[in-house]
């Protein structure tokens, strides 16, 4: 699991819906969704641009002898908690950098979305004025994305206005990202299990407890219990629960983890600044 020739995964934002920088939430983190995947050749892939992406951008700039040219974003979808950190992503302000946004949506539509949150009066700098070279690529439904030694397969998730899950494979390691997904659609639940098959790590949407889900069905999120069921069915090695609800304190999350581990012992909670070597 600690081979330097595989993958390094770091969580920069783990909260869902809205940032919650309050003391009782900071043990696991208050920034919204952002993950960094570093490949064996030290290249970088980013999943989503929530508020956690600001710290990632600063870290990229500080890494010694690190060329940040060629940063690839995998966008699950464009609800605000997944894009609101992008205007503060420092590499976008350097002309030496190239940033590519991959999404299931058409390229022109993605450009419109990202420009939209930086228009007057919401932000003082227009997206079109960012110095980095920016590219927009629509993910093919049947063709995987190959980036160096990394293969990315995308699949649909059950979420209002749609969302995309990812199966990422490199050097024999497999990571599956399935946040902003609500269980209950038989076809999409089957697709998720197929893509999660044999994964070393599955990052799963556990915004609600089973009790909360009873009154929040249709909101587009799942539970730790369903995550444990998927992990068992798909033969996942480690389950990581993420997209924590804004109202869940560190104590709430620890209690949720204890229950989840009864169902699937190798379960952990995503927390900011946590790095996993695969």
Q: Residue 1 falls within a domain, yes or no?
A: no
Q: Element (H or E) spanning 224, and its range?
A: helix 224-234
| pLDDT tens for each residue of 38-87 | 988 778 999 999 999 999 999 998 875 555 668 999 999 999 999 999 99
CATH number at residue 91: 3.60.15.10
DSSP H or E segment with residue 191: helix 186-196
- Residue 83 falls within a domain, yes or no? yes
Predicted model pTM: 0.95
Domain membership of residue 2 (yes or no) is: no
- Residue 13 domain flag: yes
Domain residues for 45? Answer: 8-277
Q: Is 215 exposed, middle or buried (0-12, 13-18, 19+ CB in 10 A)?
A: exposed
Domain count, the chain: 1
Residue 147 has pLDDT above 90, yes or no: no
The CB density around residue 173, as the number of other CB atoms within 10 Å, is 21
Radius of gyration (C-alpha) of the chain in whole angstroms: 18
Mean pLDDT over residues 129-156, rounded? Answer: 92
Q: What is the 3-state secondary structure (H, E, C) of 150-210?
A: EEEEEEEECCCCCEEEEEEEECCEEEEEECCCCCCCHHHHHHHHHHHCCCCEEEEECCECH
């Amino acid at each position: 699991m600690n081979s330097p020739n595989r993958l390094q995964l770091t969580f920069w934002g783990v909260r869902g819906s809205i940032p919650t920088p309050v003391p009782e939430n900071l043990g696991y983190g208050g920034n919204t969704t952002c993950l960094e995947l570093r490949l064996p050749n030290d290249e970088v892939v980013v999943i989503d641009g929530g508020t956690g992406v600001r710290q990632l951008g600063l870290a990229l700039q500080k890494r010694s002898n690190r060329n940040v040219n060629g940063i690839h974003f995998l966008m699950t979808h464009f609800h605000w908690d997944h894009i609101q950190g992008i205007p503060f992503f420092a590499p976008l302000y350097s002309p030496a950098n190239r940033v590519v946004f991959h999404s299931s949506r058409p390229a022109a539509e993605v450009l419109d979305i990202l420009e939209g949150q930086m228009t007057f009066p919401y932000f003082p700098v227009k997206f079109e004025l960012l110095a980095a070279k920016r590219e927009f690529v629509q993910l093919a439904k049947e063709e995987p994305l190959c980036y160096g030694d990394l293969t990315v397969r995308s699949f649909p998730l059950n979420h209002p206005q749609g969302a995309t899950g990812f199966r990422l494979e490199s050097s024999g390691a497999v990571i599956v990202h399935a946040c902003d997904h609500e269980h209950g659609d038989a076809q999409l639940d089957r697709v998720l299990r197929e893509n999660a098959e044999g994964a070393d790590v599955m990052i799963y949407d556990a915004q609600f407890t089973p009790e909360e889900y009873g009154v929040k069905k249709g909101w587009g999120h799942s539970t730790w219990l369903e995550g444990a069921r998927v992990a068992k069915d798909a033969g996942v090695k480690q389950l990581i629960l993420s997209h924590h609800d804004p109202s869940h304190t560190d104590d709430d999350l620890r209690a949720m983890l204890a229950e989840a581990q009864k169902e699937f012992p190798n379960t952990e909670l995503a927390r900011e600044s946590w790095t996993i070597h695969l």
